[in-house]
Amino acid sequence: MSSFRKNALLSLGLLGFASFLCAQTSPDYGEIHGNVGIDAQYYLDDPAINTQPVPDIFRANSFLNLVYTRGNFRAGLRYEAYMPKPLLGFPVAFEGHGIPFRYAGYTLGRLDITAGNFYEQFGNGLILRSYEERALGFDNALDGVRLKYQPVDGLRLIGFIARQRFYWQFSPGNIKGFDAELTLREFLPKVDWKKWNLIVGGSFVSRYQSGQEIPNPDNPANLLEIPLNVGGFSGRMNLGYGGFQLNAEYAYKINDPNALNKFIYKPGTAAYVSAAYSTKGLGISLQAKRVENFDFRSDRNAQGNDLLLNFIPMLNKQHTYALPASIYPYAVQANSELGWQADVNFTTPKWLNKKYATTVNLNFSMVSALDTTPTGDRYGYTSSAFDFGKRYYMDANIEVQQPLGKKTKLSLMYMYLWQNQRLVQGQGTTEDNLIAAHIAVVDATWKVAKKHTLRFEVQHLATPALQNPLNSLVNGSWAMGLVEYNFNPLFFASVMNQWSYGNPDEKKQIHYPTAMVGVTLKTTRIAIGYGRQREGIICIGGVCRQVPASNGLTFSLMSSF
């Protein structure tokens, strides 16, 4: 049978399976639901923005998730197709189609078993987080067996043994993980806890990967001695009193010579602390983090976004406006980071601003490298506990939201951004490339009539043009405008333009216009767009992906059922 026929049969089989299950209305047959998505693009040549010629000018990324539940039993699968090739910017290793994610699970009183694929996060994710970020083509799902058990109230145990998804293959490393969490309020319900709340937890994650011959960089005639088992431990606590909340976690990893730390034997550490206070109308949070040599993967040779086992939370605001989010984004440096963040939210009290309260968010973050001294041997370096090394990134911003009446809402944002582009984006020069930019955003929503809404966005990024630009298309100041029309709840249309008017090279002062129209039918959203996509880095939830410049027609469909 040709592979095409097989594929067609597979699709039809899936469809048949879904239809069969859906057609059953009696609760005895259980319930099925899921979601689907298709992102497709037709690529056009556009030399002005450095598009690369692509052999397959029409490409689509698609998926279908099905989740079946019946009583305590559950099962699910995800079909993915990247055909004929993945969209530009997604890892090429995704090419193809199949079912990379499938599982079955059962809950039996206090015990829960999952066989097959699953996602998991221990504590803050410092030593384990497996998750999916579809928009980035990121999926480090685990595949194996997981047990969750609650022997007594308040005590939760999780254990698993698995391998990680690596596109259409598996990680070379075998992963074992164990986590225990004790919620004292539930464990000792007779104690009068008043306003106190305490949760403590600990986890252990180990990777077993068979040995390999890696020459010692200091002495290429000899081979490095490589640990086959690499273990990571972590302890955490979450303490609350009324409106106060303190969350701390410390993690340690034994020596793990790997491609990203240049095969040194130094152990890794990570510490994360957050303190927050909030009451009606006011919320404050402070966070600090120190990460040293803590890139943890299920393959010691993996790089980029491949086979990550842990998650180092970023300590800067997650921007969503285009210029603040995407011109100079920050990416986590898991091998050396020391940083902190402060965030304040408040709403003006009624006596000050009777009719329409003002909401304000203030945020400051700064992240530096550790202050290190090379040891000159395979141990790598020593570091000072609290001294800052070279600064990576700084962001100070204020965002104000003010309704101007029943029909108009205004949001204003100002941000000062500072970045050492060479260190953050790892671009290939030896000289630091320091960026300082002022960004302003005005965002206004106007409800023109019942069901008709207009939204306007104007953004400006001001920065001096550099003499030796690393990424010439991003050099200098930018302006952006957007107009969006919504006919509730059915239809939307938007036009947008980004313009690099401050580029010192006149040929590189480029407009990036895009237009998009779409419909939303309950939980189905279909959109068609046309325009230029800027070359750059998009980041979602702490993971970034390099996107090449492109020009063309896009189609997207998302639906859940």
Provide, rounded to whole angstroms, the least separation between the CB of residue 92 and another protein: 16
Task: Identify which of residues 84 and 215 has a Cβ nearer to another protein in the complex.
Answer: 84
Name 468's Cβ contacts closer than 8 Å, sequence gap at least 6.
429, 431, 433
Q: Is 22 left (phi over 0), alpha (psi -120 to 50) or beta?
A: alpha
141, 121, 1: which is closest to 80 by C-alpha? 141
**Contact call for residues 148 and 178 (beta carbons, < 8 A):** no
Q: 176: helix, coil or strand?
A: strand
DSSP element (H, E) containing 223: strand 219-223
Task: Identify which of residues 379 and 561 has a Cβ nearer to another protein in the complex.
Answer: 561
Task: Identify which of residues 477 and 559 has a Cβ nearer to another protein in the complex.
Answer: 559
Provide, rounded to whole angstroms, the least separation between the CB of residue 470 and another protein: 27
Task: Identify which of residues 381 and 555 has a Cβ nearer to another protein in the complex.
Answer: 555
Rounded to whole angstroms, the Cα distance separating 145 from 162 reads 6
Provide, rounded to whole angstroms, the least separation between the CB of residue 507 and another protein: 35
Provide, rounded to whole angstroms, the least separation between the CB of residue 487 and another protein: 8
Provide, rounded to whole angstroms, the least separation between the CB of residue 553 and another protein: 15
Task: Please report the DSSP string for 383-444 in residue order.
Answer: EEEEEEEEEEEEEEEEEEEEE-SSSEEEEEEEEEEEEEHHHHH--S-SS--EEEEEEEEEEE
Give me 286's structure tokens: 């402070």
Task: Identify which of residues 412 and 470 has a Cβ nearer to another protein in the complex.
Answer: 412
Task: Identify which of residues 238 and 255 has a Cβ nearer to another protein in the complex.
Answer: 238
DSSP element (H, E) containing 11: helix 3-23
Task: Identify which of residues 12 and 223 has a Cβ nearer to another protein in the complex.
Answer: 12
Beta bridge partners of 97: 81
Provide, rounded to whole angstroms, the least separation between the CB of residue 493 and another protein: 12
390, 469, 467, 463: which is closest to 423 by C-alpha? 390
Provide, rounded to whole angstroms, the least separation between the CB of residue 283 and another protein: 3
Give the C-alpha distances (Å, rounded to integers) separating 456 from 411, 485, 551.
10, 9, 24
Cis peptide before 489 (omega within 30 of 0): yes
Provide, rounded to whole angstroms, the least separation between the CB of residue 183 and another protein: 5
Rounded to whole angstroms, the Cα distance separating 144 from 113 reads 11
Task: Identify which of residues 179 and 535 has a Cβ nearer to another protein in the complex.
Answer: 179
